[in-house]
Chain A
Amino acid sequence: MIQKTLAPGREGPVFFKILSPYKATYPKALNALNKRFLFMKPFSCRALRGGAFISLILLNVSKPSSLAGSDKAFKPLKSLPNSLNGVRNASSKQASTAAADDPYADEMTKKSNDACEGLNRQTFKFNHQFYRFVARPIAKVTTFIIPPPVLNALGQALENLESPVRITSCLLQGKAKRAGQETGKLVLNSTLGVGGLWKPSDRVNSLKNVPPEDLGQTFGNWGIPQGPYLVLPVLGPSSARDAVGKVGDTFLHPAQWVSVSGVKIATTATQAAVENPDRLDVYDAATKDALDPYIGMREAYLEYRAAAVRK
Protein backbone atom coordinates (compact mmCIF):
# COMPACT_ATOMS: atom_id res chain seq x y z
CA MET A 1 0.00 0.00 0.00
CA ILE A 2 1.32 3.42 -0.92
CA GLN A 3 1.36 5.59 2.07
CA LYS A 4 2.38 9.12 2.75
CA THR A 5 5.20 9.20 5.26
CA LEU A 6 7.01 12.00 6.98
CA ALA A 7 10.18 13.28 5.38
CA PRO A 8 13.48 11.94 6.74
CA GLY A 9 14.48 13.79 9.83
CA ARG A 10 10.84 14.69 10.53
CA GLU A 11 9.78 11.37 12.01
CA GLY A 12 9.42 12.83 15.47
CA PRO A 13 11.32 11.93 18.61
CA VAL A 14 13.71 9.04 18.28
CA PHE A 15 12.10 6.92 20.95
CA PHE A 16 8.97 6.58 18.86
CA LYS A 17 11.02 4.42 16.55
CA ILE A 18 10.71 1.75 19.22
CA LEU A 19 7.17 1.43 17.97
CA SER A 20 8.34 0.43 14.52
CA PRO A 21 7.07 -3.19 14.84
CA TYR A 22 3.62 -1.67 14.95
CA LYS A 23 4.17 0.32 11.80
CA ALA A 24 2.79 -2.46 9.64
CA THR A 25 -0.43 -2.46 11.64
CA TYR A 26 -0.83 1.21 12.36
CA PRO A 27 0.94 3.17 9.65
CA LYS A 28 -1.53 6.03 9.55
CA ALA A 29 -1.91 6.14 13.30
CA LEU A 30 1.83 6.23 13.86
CA ASN A 31 2.34 8.96 11.31
CA ALA A 32 -0.44 11.00 12.88
CA LEU A 33 1.04 10.51 16.32
CA ASN A 34 4.54 11.33 15.16
CA LYS A 35 3.19 14.54 13.65
CA ARG A 36 1.35 15.33 16.85
CA PHE A 37 4.42 14.86 19.01
CA LEU A 38 6.82 16.71 16.72
CA PHE A 39 6.70 19.63 19.10
CA MET A 40 8.55 17.47 21.60
CA LYS A 41 11.55 16.96 19.39
CA PRO A 42 13.58 19.83 20.84
CA PHE A 43 13.06 18.50 24.36
CA SER A 44 15.82 16.46 25.87
CA CYS A 45 14.08 15.80 29.16
CA ARG A 46 13.92 12.04 29.61
CA ALA A 47 11.09 12.23 32.09
CA LEU A 48 8.94 14.18 29.64
CA ARG A 49 9.66 11.78 26.84
CA GLY A 50 9.11 8.83 29.14
CA GLY A 51 5.74 10.18 30.26
CA ALA A 52 4.61 10.76 26.71
CA PHE A 53 5.85 7.33 25.72
CA ILE A 54 3.87 5.60 28.48
CA SER A 55 0.77 7.60 27.55
CA LEU A 56 1.28 6.58 23.95
CA ILE A 57 1.60 2.93 24.87
CA LEU A 58 -1.57 3.12 26.98
CA LEU A 59 -3.49 4.97 24.33
CA ASN A 60 -2.51 3.28 21.15
CA VAL A 61 -0.47 0.18 20.98
CA SER A 62 -2.08 -2.40 23.19
CA LYS A 63 -3.84 -4.40 20.48
CA PRO A 64 -5.41 -3.88 17.08
CA SER A 65 -8.86 -3.11 18.42
CA SER A 66 -7.46 0.00 20.08
CA LEU A 67 -7.88 1.68 16.74
CA ALA A 68 -11.30 0.18 16.29
CA GLY A 69 -12.34 1.99 19.44
CA SER A 70 -11.34 5.33 18.03
CA ASP A 71 -14.13 7.88 17.96
CA LYS A 72 -12.81 9.40 14.79
CA ALA A 73 -12.06 6.51 12.48
CA PHE A 74 -9.67 6.98 9.61
CA LYS A 75 -11.35 7.75 6.32
CA PRO A 76 -11.68 4.61 4.18
CA LEU A 77 -10.28 4.47 0.65
CA LYS A 78 -13.04 5.59 -1.69
CA SER A 79 -11.68 3.80 -4.74
CA LEU A 80 -9.45 0.86 -5.41
CA PRO A 81 -7.09 0.37 -8.33
CA ASN A 82 -8.47 -1.77 -11.18
CA SER A 83 -6.05 -4.53 -10.30
CA LEU A 84 -7.86 -4.88 -6.99
CA ASN A 85 -11.34 -5.22 -8.52
CA GLY A 86 -11.43 -8.89 -7.59
CA VAL A 87 -10.70 -8.03 -4.02
CA ARG A 88 -13.40 -5.36 -4.10
CA ASN A 89 -16.00 -7.78 -5.49
CA ALA A 90 -15.05 -10.40 -2.92
CA SER A 91 -15.31 -7.77 -0.19
CA SER A 92 -18.73 -6.59 -1.34
CA LYS A 93 -19.96 -10.21 -1.40
CA GLN A 94 -18.64 -10.71 2.10
CA ALA A 95 -20.30 -7.48 3.17
CA SER A 96 -23.66 -8.54 1.74
CA THR A 97 -23.37 -11.94 3.46
CA ALA A 98 -22.48 -10.20 6.71
CA ALA A 99 -25.45 -7.85 6.28
CA ALA A 100 -27.77 -10.84 5.82
CA ASP A 101 -26.37 -12.45 8.97
CA ASP A 102 -26.50 -9.23 10.94
CA PRO A 103 -28.84 -6.61 9.45
CA TYR A 104 -28.06 -4.13 12.21
CA ALA A 105 -24.28 -4.36 11.95
CA ASP A 106 -24.07 -0.83 10.53
CA GLU A 107 -25.42 0.59 13.80
CA MET A 108 -23.05 -1.27 16.06
CA THR A 109 -19.91 0.16 17.56
CA LYS A 110 -16.63 -1.64 16.98
CA LYS A 111 -15.38 -4.24 19.44
CA SER A 112 -14.21 -2.66 22.67
CA ASN A 113 -10.51 -2.47 23.43
CA ASP A 114 -10.09 -4.36 26.67
CA ALA A 115 -6.41 -5.26 26.65
CA CYS A 116 -6.25 -5.31 30.45
CA GLU A 117 -9.36 -7.46 30.95
CA GLY A 118 -7.77 -9.82 33.49
CA LEU A 119 -6.61 -7.03 35.76
CA ASN A 120 -9.77 -5.03 35.12
CA ARG A 121 -11.99 -7.92 36.21
CA GLN A 122 -10.02 -8.29 39.44
CA THR A 123 -10.35 -4.57 40.14
CA PHE A 124 -14.05 -4.75 39.25
CA LYS A 125 -14.50 -7.53 41.82
CA PHE A 126 -12.63 -5.49 44.42
CA ASN A 127 -14.76 -2.43 43.64
CA HIS A 128 -17.94 -4.49 43.94
CA GLN A 129 -16.97 -5.55 47.45
CA PHE A 130 -15.80 -2.03 48.28
CA TYR A 131 -19.12 -0.56 47.17
CA ARG A 132 -21.00 -3.23 49.08
CA PHE A 133 -19.21 -3.00 52.41
CA VAL A 134 -17.85 0.56 52.45
CA ALA A 135 -19.36 2.94 49.88
CA ARG A 136 -22.98 1.85 50.24
CA PRO A 137 -23.09 2.14 54.05
CA ILE A 138 -21.40 5.54 53.75
CA ALA A 139 -23.96 6.62 51.15
CA LYS A 140 -26.79 5.52 53.45
CA VAL A 141 -25.33 7.52 56.34
CA THR A 142 -24.71 10.53 54.07
CA THR A 143 -28.25 10.57 52.71
CA PHE A 144 -29.61 10.03 56.24
CA ILE A 145 -27.64 12.90 57.79
CA ILE A 146 -27.83 15.32 54.87
CA PRO A 147 -31.32 15.93 53.47
CA PRO A 148 -31.54 15.25 49.70
CA PRO A 149 -32.15 18.94 48.80
CA VAL A 150 -28.97 19.95 50.66
CA LEU A 151 -27.02 17.13 49.04
CA ASN A 152 -28.33 18.25 45.67
CA ALA A 153 -27.35 21.88 46.37
CA LEU A 154 -23.84 20.79 47.37
CA GLY A 155 -23.58 18.76 44.18
CA GLN A 156 -24.57 21.82 42.16
CA ALA A 157 -22.03 23.98 43.96
CA LEU A 158 -19.28 21.47 43.22
CA GLU A 159 -20.40 21.29 39.61
CA ASN A 160 -20.18 25.08 39.47
CA LEU A 161 -16.68 24.90 40.92
CA GLU A 162 -15.64 22.63 38.04
CA SER A 163 -16.55 25.28 35.46
CA PRO A 164 -12.89 26.08 34.62
CA VAL A 165 -12.42 22.45 33.54
CA ARG A 166 -15.39 22.63 31.21
CA ILE A 167 -14.60 26.11 29.86
CA THR A 168 -10.97 25.21 29.15
CA SER A 169 -12.02 21.97 27.46
CA CYS A 170 -14.51 23.85 25.28
CA LEU A 171 -11.85 26.37 24.26
CA LEU A 172 -9.31 23.65 23.50
CA GLN A 173 -11.85 22.07 21.18
CA GLY A 174 -12.65 25.38 19.52
CA LYS A 175 -16.23 25.33 20.84
CA ALA A 176 -16.46 29.06 21.48
CA LYS A 177 -20.25 29.15 21.80
CA ARG A 178 -20.27 26.38 24.36
CA ALA A 179 -17.43 28.07 26.27
CA GLY A 180 -19.56 31.22 26.35
CA GLN A 181 -22.55 29.28 27.64
CA GLU A 182 -20.43 27.70 30.38
CA THR A 183 -19.10 31.13 31.34
CA GLY A 184 -22.65 32.47 31.45
CA LYS A 185 -23.65 29.59 33.70
CA LEU A 186 -20.68 30.24 35.98
CA VAL A 187 -21.48 33.94 36.35
CA LEU A 188 -25.21 33.41 36.85
CA ASN A 189 -24.93 30.50 39.27
CA SER A 190 -22.08 32.04 41.26
CA THR A 191 -23.96 35.30 41.80
CA LEU A 192 -27.72 34.75 41.76
CA GLY A 193 -27.23 31.11 42.67
CA VAL A 194 -25.03 31.92 45.70
CA GLY A 195 -21.90 30.08 44.69
CA GLY A 196 -23.80 27.51 42.69
CA LEU A 197 -25.98 26.19 45.53
CA TRP A 198 -28.92 27.07 43.31
CA LYS A 199 -28.95 26.78 39.57
CA PRO A 200 -30.77 29.76 38.05
CA SER A 201 -29.12 28.91 34.71
CA ASP A 202 -31.68 26.09 34.36
CA ARG A 203 -34.32 28.76 33.82
CA VAL A 204 -32.49 30.19 30.84
CA ASN A 205 -33.21 28.14 27.72
CA SER A 206 -29.81 28.68 26.13
CA LEU A 207 -28.00 27.60 29.32
CA LYS A 208 -30.26 24.74 30.31
CA ASN A 209 -28.81 21.74 28.53
CA VAL A 210 -25.16 22.47 27.85
CA PRO A 211 -23.30 19.16 27.38
CA PRO A 212 -20.44 18.97 29.89
CA GLU A 213 -16.88 18.79 28.56
CA ASP A 214 -13.63 17.55 30.06
CA LEU A 215 -10.09 16.92 28.91
CA GLY A 216 -10.79 13.27 28.09
CA GLN A 217 -13.45 14.41 25.63
CA THR A 218 -11.06 17.08 24.34
CA PHE A 219 -8.47 14.40 23.53
CA GLY A 220 -11.22 12.42 21.81
CA ASN A 221 -12.18 15.48 19.80
CA TRP A 222 -8.57 15.80 18.69
CA GLY A 223 -8.72 12.25 17.33
CA ILE A 224 -6.84 10.48 20.09
CA PRO A 225 -8.36 7.00 20.54
CA GLN A 226 -9.92 5.92 23.80
CA GLY A 227 -7.19 3.35 24.34
CA PRO A 228 -7.70 0.31 26.51
CA TYR A 229 -10.61 0.25 28.93
CA LEU A 230 -9.50 0.56 32.54
CA VAL A 231 -11.22 -0.12 35.82
CA LEU A 232 -9.71 2.10 38.48
CA PRO A 233 -9.81 1.08 42.14
CA VAL A 234 -12.79 2.70 43.88
CA LEU A 235 -13.36 5.22 41.06
CA GLY A 236 -14.57 2.57 38.61
CA PRO A 237 -14.71 2.66 34.80
CA SER A 238 -12.28 4.72 32.76
CA SER A 239 -10.00 4.41 29.76
CA ALA A 240 -6.38 5.28 29.14
CA ARG A 241 -7.42 8.51 27.46
CA ASP A 242 -9.89 9.48 30.18
CA ALA A 243 -7.46 8.61 32.96
CA VAL A 244 -4.83 10.92 31.46
CA GLY A 245 -7.54 13.56 30.92
CA LYS A 246 -8.65 13.24 34.52
CA VAL A 247 -5.16 14.10 35.73
CA GLY A 248 -5.33 17.28 33.64
CA ASP A 249 -8.83 18.04 34.93
CA THR A 250 -7.49 17.87 38.47
CA PHE A 251 -4.95 20.61 37.72
CA LEU A 252 -7.69 22.79 36.21
CA HIS A 253 -9.88 22.43 39.30
CA PRO A 254 -9.90 25.67 41.37
CA ALA A 255 -9.32 23.71 44.58
CA GLN A 256 -5.82 22.96 43.32
CA TRP A 257 -5.07 26.65 42.88
CA VAL A 258 -5.45 27.29 46.60
CA SER A 259 -2.28 26.87 48.61
CA VAL A 260 -4.14 25.93 51.80
CA SER A 261 -4.15 22.13 51.96
CA GLY A 262 -7.21 22.15 54.22
CA VAL A 263 -9.32 23.63 51.42
CA LYS A 264 -8.13 20.93 49.02
CA ILE A 265 -8.92 18.18 51.49
CA ALA A 266 -12.34 19.63 52.36
CA THR A 267 -13.29 20.00 48.69
CA THR A 268 -12.14 16.49 47.82
CA ALA A 269 -13.93 14.99 50.83
CA THR A 270 -17.18 16.83 50.04
CA GLN A 271 -16.93 15.81 46.41
CA ALA A 272 -16.39 12.17 47.38
CA ALA A 273 -19.36 12.25 49.75
CA VAL A 274 -21.68 13.95 47.24
CA GLU A 275 -20.63 11.84 44.24
CA ASN A 276 -20.76 8.56 46.14
CA PRO A 277 -24.55 7.99 45.94
CA ASP A 278 -24.56 9.01 42.25
CA ARG A 279 -21.69 6.66 41.51
CA LEU A 280 -23.57 3.79 43.17
CA ASP A 281 -26.76 4.63 41.24
CA VAL A 282 -24.86 4.52 37.96
CA TYR A 283 -23.13 1.30 38.98
CA ASP A 284 -26.47 -0.31 39.82
CA ALA A 285 -28.11 0.91 36.62
CA ALA A 286 -25.35 -0.56 34.47
CA THR A 287 -24.89 -3.83 36.31
CA LYS A 288 -28.12 -4.85 38.01
CA ASP A 289 -29.83 -6.27 34.94
CA ALA A 290 -26.70 -7.34 33.12
CA LEU A 291 -25.91 -10.97 32.38
CA ASP A 292 -22.25 -10.12 32.84
CA PRO A 293 -22.05 -6.96 35.00
CA TYR A 294 -18.42 -6.34 34.05
CA ILE A 295 -19.21 -6.26 30.32
CA GLY A 296 -22.45 -4.35 30.92
CA MET A 297 -20.55 -1.58 32.70
CA ARG A 298 -17.70 -1.58 30.18
CA GLU A 299 -19.98 -1.23 27.16
CA ALA A 300 -22.14 1.42 28.83
CA TYR A 301 -19.10 3.48 29.81
CA LEU A 302 -17.27 3.30 26.48
CA GLU A 303 -20.40 4.02 24.46
CA TYR A 304 -21.41 6.87 26.74
CA ARG A 305 -17.98 8.50 26.45
CA ALA A 306 -17.87 8.02 22.69
CA ALA A 307 -21.27 9.73 22.44
CA ALA A 308 -20.06 12.55 24.72
CA VAL A 309 -17.14 13.21 22.35
CA ARG A 310 -19.51 13.41 19.38
CA LYS A 311 -21.76 16.00 21.07
Chain B
Amino acid sequence: MPLPSRYLPYAAVVVCIVAPCAAIAASDSSPEATLTKGLADLLRLVKSKNNNDPVELAHRVRPTIERFFNTESLTRKALGPGWKEFTPAQQKRAVELFSEMIIRSYTSRFDPNSDVDVQFAKSTELGNGRKEVPASARYQGNSVALAYRVENIGPEGWRVYDVVIEGVSLASNYRAQFDAIRQKGGPEAVLHAMEDKIK
Protein backbone atom coordinates (compact mmCIF):
# COMPACT_ATOMS: atom_id res chain seq x y z
CA MET B 1 0.00 0.00 0.00
CA PRO B 2 1.57 3.29 -1.03
CA LEU B 3 1.03 5.39 2.06
CA PRO B 4 0.64 9.14 1.69
CA SER B 5 4.16 9.82 2.96
CA ARG B 6 4.96 8.90 6.52
CA TYR B 7 6.03 12.47 6.97
CA LEU B 8 2.60 13.93 6.19
CA PRO B 9 1.67 14.38 9.87
CA TYR B 10 4.87 16.32 10.46
CA ALA B 11 4.12 18.43 7.42
CA ALA B 12 0.83 19.47 8.93
CA VAL B 13 2.66 20.67 12.00
CA VAL B 14 5.19 22.59 9.99
CA VAL B 15 2.38 24.42 8.26
CA CYS B 16 1.20 25.91 11.50
CA ILE B 17 4.52 27.61 11.84
CA VAL B 18 5.20 28.62 8.31
CA ALA B 19 1.77 29.19 6.84
CA PRO B 20 1.06 32.61 8.24
CA CYS B 21 4.35 34.05 7.22
CA ALA B 22 3.22 36.06 4.24
CA ALA B 23 3.26 39.75 3.72
CA ILE B 24 5.17 41.06 6.68
CA ALA B 25 7.44 42.88 4.34
CA ALA B 26 6.40 45.79 2.16
CA SER B 27 4.27 45.25 -0.91
CA ASP B 28 7.15 45.60 -3.34
CA SER B 29 9.15 42.68 -1.86
CA SER B 30 9.17 39.24 -3.45
CA PRO B 31 6.98 36.47 -2.04
CA GLU B 32 10.12 34.53 -1.05
CA ALA B 33 11.43 37.48 0.99
CA THR B 34 7.99 37.98 2.47
CA LEU B 35 7.76 34.35 3.57
CA THR B 36 11.31 34.28 4.94
CA LYS B 37 10.81 37.38 7.04
CA GLY B 38 7.38 36.22 8.10
CA LEU B 39 8.75 32.89 9.27
CA ALA B 40 11.40 34.54 11.39
CA ASP B 41 8.84 36.85 12.99
CA LEU B 42 6.40 34.07 13.68
CA LEU B 43 9.00 31.73 15.19
CA ARG B 44 10.05 34.55 17.48
CA LEU B 45 6.43 34.94 18.53
CA VAL B 46 5.95 31.21 19.10
CA LYS B 47 9.12 30.84 21.14
CA SER B 48 8.50 33.99 23.18
CA LYS B 49 6.71 31.87 25.81
CA ASN B 50 7.57 28.40 26.96
CA ASN B 51 3.98 27.25 27.01
CA ASN B 52 2.91 23.99 25.37
CA ASP B 53 -0.82 24.62 25.73
CA PRO B 54 -2.20 24.47 22.17
CA VAL B 55 -5.19 26.66 23.01
CA GLU B 56 -2.94 29.38 24.37
CA LEU B 57 -0.63 28.98 21.36
CA ALA B 58 -3.58 29.30 18.98
CA HIS B 59 -4.74 32.43 20.79
CA ARG B 60 -1.22 33.88 20.63
CA VAL B 61 -0.61 33.29 16.93
CA ARG B 62 -4.13 34.11 15.71
CA PRO B 63 -3.62 37.90 15.28
CA THR B 64 -0.44 37.25 13.27
CA ILE B 65 -2.16 34.68 11.11
CA GLU B 66 -5.18 36.88 10.49
CA ARG B 67 -2.92 39.76 9.61
CA PHE B 68 -0.76 37.93 7.11
CA PHE B 69 -2.90 35.05 5.90
CA ASN B 70 -5.76 35.80 3.53
CA THR B 71 -8.36 33.78 5.39
CA GLU B 72 -11.18 35.04 3.19
CA SER B 73 -9.46 33.76 0.04
CA LEU B 74 -8.66 30.45 1.72
CA THR B 75 -12.31 30.05 2.79
CA ARG B 76 -13.58 31.09 -0.62
CA LYS B 77 -11.30 28.61 -2.32
CA ALA B 78 -12.37 25.87 0.08
CA LEU B 79 -16.07 26.61 -0.45
CA GLY B 80 -15.68 26.87 -4.23
CA PRO B 81 -18.78 27.71 -6.27
CA GLY B 82 -20.85 27.22 -3.11
CA TRP B 83 -19.50 30.57 -1.85
CA LYS B 84 -22.14 32.47 -3.84
CA GLU B 85 -24.92 30.57 -2.07
CA PHE B 86 -23.84 32.09 1.24
CA THR B 87 -25.28 35.46 2.29
CA PRO B 88 -22.68 38.13 3.21
CA ALA B 89 -23.32 37.43 6.89
CA GLN B 90 -22.89 33.70 6.34
CA GLN B 91 -19.71 34.32 4.34
CA LYS B 92 -18.26 36.37 7.20
CA ARG B 93 -19.19 33.65 9.68
CA ALA B 94 -17.69 30.97 7.42
CA VAL B 95 -14.38 32.86 7.26
CA GLU B 96 -14.27 33.20 11.06
CA LEU B 97 -15.11 29.55 11.68
CA PHE B 98 -12.81 28.13 9.04
CA SER B 99 -9.79 30.15 10.12
CA GLU B 100 -10.45 29.18 13.75
CA MET B 101 -10.71 25.54 12.73
CA ILE B 102 -7.44 25.59 10.79
CA ILE B 103 -5.48 27.44 13.48
CA ARG B 104 -6.72 25.13 16.25
CA SER B 105 -6.08 22.07 14.17
CA TYR B 106 -2.45 22.88 13.48
CA THR B 107 -1.46 24.41 16.79
CA SER B 108 -2.77 21.31 18.56
CA ARG B 109 -0.03 19.29 16.88
CA PHE B 110 2.83 21.71 17.21
CA ASP B 111 5.65 21.38 19.67
CA PRO B 112 7.08 24.88 20.30
CA ASN B 113 10.31 23.34 21.57
CA SER B 114 11.10 21.73 18.21
CA ASP B 115 13.11 23.64 15.65
CA VAL B 116 11.81 24.22 12.15
CA ASP B 117 14.17 24.80 9.26
CA VAL B 118 12.53 26.00 6.07
CA GLN B 119 14.28 26.70 2.79
CA PHE B 120 12.29 28.59 0.16
CA ALA B 121 12.91 28.10 -3.54
CA LYS B 122 12.22 30.55 -6.35
CA SER B 123 8.55 31.27 -6.88
CA THR B 124 6.65 30.37 -10.03
CA GLU B 125 3.80 32.30 -11.67
CA LEU B 126 0.30 30.89 -11.37
CA GLY B 127 -1.39 33.75 -13.24
CA ASN B 128 -4.03 36.25 -12.04
CA GLY B 129 -1.51 37.89 -9.69
CA ARG B 130 -0.79 34.65 -7.90
CA LYS B 131 2.48 32.82 -7.29
CA GLU B 132 3.59 29.55 -5.79
CA VAL B 133 6.63 29.41 -3.54
CA PRO B 134 8.04 25.87 -3.18
CA ALA B 135 9.73 25.11 0.11
CA SER B 136 11.50 22.30 1.87
CA ALA B 137 11.00 22.05 5.60
CA ARG B 138 12.75 19.98 8.23
CA TYR B 139 10.89 19.31 11.45
CA GLN B 140 11.80 16.69 14.06
CA GLY B 141 14.26 15.06 11.65
CA ASN B 142 11.79 14.71 8.78
CA SER B 143 11.94 16.48 5.45
CA VAL B 144 8.68 17.74 3.97
CA ALA B 145 7.89 19.28 0.58
CA LEU B 146 5.65 22.32 0.84
CA ALA B 147 4.32 24.95 -1.52
CA TYR B 148 2.79 28.27 -0.50
CA ARG B 149 0.31 29.87 -2.84
CA VAL B 150 0.33 33.60 -2.42
CA GLU B 151 -1.60 36.42 -4.06
CA ASN B 152 -0.78 40.08 -4.36
CA ILE B 153 -3.60 42.08 -2.84
CA GLY B 154 -2.19 45.50 -3.69
CA PRO B 155 -0.61 47.85 -1.15
CA GLU B 156 -0.71 45.22 1.57
CA GLY B 157 1.54 42.93 -0.47
CA TRP B 158 1.57 39.16 -0.65
CA ARG B 159 -0.70 36.96 1.37
CA VAL B 160 -0.97 33.18 1.60
CA TYR B 161 -4.28 31.78 0.37
CA ASP B 162 -3.44 28.06 0.23
CA VAL B 163 -0.77 25.64 1.41
CA VAL B 164 0.14 22.47 -0.47
CA ILE B 165 1.70 19.75 1.70
CA GLU B 166 3.36 16.88 -0.20
CA GLY B 167 1.11 17.66 -3.15
CA VAL B 168 -2.08 17.87 -1.08
CA SER B 169 -3.80 21.25 -1.13
CA LEU B 170 -5.40 22.32 2.13
CA ALA B 171 -8.25 24.18 0.42
CA SER B 172 -8.85 21.43 -2.10
CA ASN B 173 -9.10 18.83 0.64
CA TYR B 174 -11.75 20.82 2.50
CA ARG B 175 -13.61 21.75 -0.69
CA ALA B 176 -14.71 18.19 -1.33
CA GLN B 177 -15.96 17.92 2.26
CA PHE B 178 -17.80 21.25 2.16
CA ASP B 179 -19.37 20.36 -1.19
CA ALA B 180 -20.84 17.13 0.16
CA ILE B 181 -22.30 18.87 3.22
CA ARG B 182 -23.63 21.87 1.25
CA GLN B 183 -25.35 19.71 -1.32
CA LYS B 184 -27.24 17.92 1.45
CA GLY B 185 -28.09 20.81 3.79
CA GLY B 186 -27.07 24.12 2.19
CA PRO B 187 -24.83 26.83 3.70
CA GLU B 188 -26.28 26.54 7.21
CA ALA B 189 -25.28 22.87 7.34
CA VAL B 190 -21.70 23.83 6.44
CA LEU B 191 -21.60 26.45 9.20
CA HIS B 192 -23.05 24.00 11.73
CA ALA B 193 -20.50 21.36 10.75
CA MET B 194 -17.65 23.81 11.35
CA GLU B 195 -19.14 24.95 14.66
CA ASP B 196 -19.47 21.33 15.80
CA LYS B 197 -15.84 20.66 14.84
CA ILE B 198 -14.59 23.63 16.83
CA LYS B 199 -16.60 22.56 19.91
Which residues of A are in contact with B by a Cβ distance under 8 Å?
98, 101-109, 112, 208-209, 214, 216-217, 232, 235-238, 242, 245-246, 275, 278-279, 281-282, 284-286, 288-292, 295-296, 298-301, 303-308, 310
Contacts and interface: CB of A to CB of B under 8 A. Distances in A.
A275 B76 CA distance: 37
Contacts of A105: 80-81
A279 B161 CA distance: 29
Given A108-B80, A282-B4, A296-B177, A303 B197 contact: no
Interface stretch (B39-47, B58-66, B88-96, B164-172): B164-172
A307 to B, nearest CB: 2
A100 B173 CA distance: 21
A104 B4 contact: no
B158 to A, nearest CB: 16
Interface stretch (B6-14, B23-31, B48-56, B110-118): B6-14
A107 B1 contact: no
Given A104-B171, A105-B80, A307-B168, A246 B180 contact: no
B1 to A, nearest CB: 4
A289 B6 contact: no
Given A291-B177, A307-B166, A103 B76 contact: yes
Contacts, number: 123
How many B residues are at the interface, by size bracket?
35 or more
Contacts of B3: 236, 275, 278-279, 282
B173 A296 contact: yes
A290 B101 CA distance: 10
B173 A300 contact: yes
A105 B169 CA distance: 13
B180 A107 contact: no
Given A286-B8, A289-B101, A304-B5, A295 B176 contact: yes
Which one of B77, B101, B161 has the highest number of Cβ atoms from chain A below 10 Å of its Cβ?
B77
Contact of A300 (B2, B4, B6, B178): B4
A289 B2 contact: no
Interface of B: 1-6, 8-9, 12, 73, 76-77, 80-81, 83-84, 101, 105, 126-128, 136, 143, 149, 161-162, 166-169, 171-178, 180-181, 193-194, 197
A98 B80 CA distance: 10
Nearest to A307: B167
A282 B81 contact: no
Contact of A102 (B4, B8, B80): B80
Contacts of A296: 173, 177
Closest 5 CB pairs of A and B: A307-B167, A285-B9, A289-B105, A304-B4, A278-B6
Given A275-B3, A281-B6, A290 B167 contact: no
B176 A112 contact: yes
Contacts of B6: 278, 281-282
11 contacts: A106-B128, A108-B172, A208-B143, A242-B2, A278-B3, A279-B1, A291-B178, A291-B197, A299-B177, A301-B4, A310-B167
B193 A286 contact: no
Given A104-B77, A292-B180, A292-B181, A282 B9 contact: yes
A104 B175 CA distance: 11
Given A105-B81, A217-B2, A286-B8, 4 more contacts: A104-B162, A105-B80, A106-B127, A307-B167
